[in-house]
Amino acid sequence: MKLRARRLVIGALSLVVFLPADTRGQSRKSTEKVRVTVPAKSLTFLPFYFGQSKGIFNEEAIDPELIVMRPPLGIVALEAGDVAYSAAPGVGMRAALKGAQLRVVTFVQTRLSFSLLGQPGMNEKRIKSVGVSGIGSTAHYAALAVMKRLGRGAAEDRVVYITTNTTAQSYTSLVGKVVDAAILTPPYTSMATLAGYVDLGDTFDVGDVQGGLVTTARRVQEERAQVKAVVRALVRTLEYISSHEDEVLDYLQRQFGLDRQVAAGSYGVIKRVFSMNGDIDDGLLKSVIERMKQDSKISEEIPAGRIVDLSVVREVQSDLKSKRK
């Protein structure tokens, strides 16, 4: 079974898209190539792309090869040893809960970035259909949360949630008037509001995990210096993104094809939902783990140390703080 899974992963890796990076200004310093799977070239994973473009990873002697791959397959590739890291902490944590020897070492996004956008003139009482990327997905969970805040979602409430497969298709469904409302993330949120669609609510205060960094427990133990270098590059990139708005907006325009207004609106959301130091609140982590256990029908007590290892990111924070003194 493991051999079959490994063949699947190797075959998949031969088909994935390797996205060229804007490498202007990168150092010529000798670097170590590491393979990282990311679910999409989207704003949730901006620190990976921006840090690569800015040369911050190179400054840490890391040359990340960013491979776009669906999260479940990315985790299989990680377990098989075909890649070194995954940027999908949620899927990684669920796998670890079921026994996979994986650890989340950094969290990039610890609040949900979803907004519910309705047709022009739409209000909460008139919503009969909502576009979500998938039933049971984080987007679906976010849509239910916003609808509940709007006083909707009771057992007798007749709201249909329509699967669109991707956030991009949710946006298309909204524009095409296929649905009354759709749950969106940046940049589609700003694109919709600027086009006149109604913002019905968001989940920016809802704690959860989206972007981050997952690796194997073995790598944390045996190749800690490499793990620390990758984490340090991510934390430095997060700090840079937080303090260089104009430069980030230029990058979003250039690399994501966004106009300035959409880029600015998206940046505003990023600042609200990203963990700018790569860490996560202990209380939030506990609640996320408990929710995942409930979803997976796991009743046994599982220590957080079997799922995450935050010692690396906290060492990095301490090192960076000392350098600033």
> 277 with 229, same domain?
yes
Give alpha helix (H) positions in 55-166: 56-59, 71-80, 89-97, 138-149
Q: Count, in order, helices (H) and strands (E) of the chain.
A: 14, 10
Pick from 290, 310, 315, 312: which is nearest to 300 by CA?
Answer: 290
The span from the CA of 263 to the CA of 258, in Å, is 6
Q: Are residues 144 and 253 in the same domain?
A: no
- Domain of 228, CATH number, reads 3.40.190.10
Residue that finishes a domain, picked among 202, 217, 248: 202
What is the per-residue pLDDT for 29?
60
Judgement on whether residues 120 and 262 belong to the same structural domain of the protein: no
Q: Which residue range forms the structural domain that includes residue 66?
A: 2-111+208-324
pLDDT tens digits, one per residue of 264-308? 999 999 999 999 999 999 999 999 999 999 988 999 999 999 999
Q: Are residues 197 and 320 both part of a single domain?
A: no
Report the C-alpha gap between 132 and 142 in whole angstroms.
9
Is 197 found in the same domain as 149?
A: yes
What would the mean pLDDT of 20-42 be, rounded to a whole number? 73
pLDDT tens profile 146-157: 999 999 988 788
pTM more than 0.85: no
